[in-house]
Amino acid sequence: MTAKRRPSRATSPRPDARRTLPDARRTLPSVDAVLRAAGELDVPRTRFVSAVREVLADARGNGATATDARAVARDARARIAAKDTPSMRRVLNATGVVLQTNLGRAPLAGAAIDSMRDAAGAVSVEYDLVAGKRGERHGHTTRLLHELTGAEDAAVVNNNAAAVLLALAAFAARREVLVARG
């Protein structure tokens, strides 16, 4: 008489394994399905794909709430829009401190803002309108600084490092200069 073998525990299914519900993450759409459902994109494709992947990763981690491809596309667009929203906003300085460094720079006069707006477009930087030919880039500021200060000549630079280099070249040529760091 041969004994009947019992199925081993390793191969027999657990009683509760047969009753489990399908994982909601399995119903998430593919990136390709979301791209098809999204229609025409108003951002670069790679940027949209990246946002879709972020939305799907969040859905996988949070229990997969958005299973429709159109909903994932909508969430991806919302995520891109949130990233494109400027983080700095105009505020009212009610601190009592005239130049509060946490609130940006000193306010500019309206005329200065208008001049910056004009200079942001096409202007005669290196073109002499009177002579009708190429002109001097620094001629605009040199004349003004000469009139205001009486200086023989002038140069305008757009950063502190260049200004320090010019000052050192003028006042400390071939001499040792001590620099404090920190």
Query: What is the pTM assigned to this prediction?
Result: 0.51
Residue 9 lies in a domain: no
Residue 145 lies in a domain: yes
Residue 8 lies in a domain: no
For residues 57 and 25, what is the distance between their CA atoms, to the nearest angstrom?
10
Residue 60 lies in a domain: yes
Residue 13 lies in a domain: no
Is the Cβ–Cβ distance between 152 and 143 less than 8 Å?
A: no
- Quick one: pLDDT at residue 20? 56
pLDDT greater at residue 140 or residue 25 = 140
Residue 46 lies in a domain: yes
- Quick one: pLDDT at residue 99? 83
| Structural domain span for residue 164 | 133-175
Residue-wise pLDDT tens digits, 34-85: 999 999 999 999 999 999 999 999 988 887 665 799 999 999 999 999 999 9
Number of domains in the chain: 2
Contacts of 156 (CB under 8 A, 6+ apart): 138, 141, 145
Residue 105 lies in a domain: no
Residue 38 lies in a domain: yes
H helices of the chain, where?
31-38, 45-61, 69-84, 110-119, 139-149, 160-171
- Quick one: pLDDT at residue 140? 83
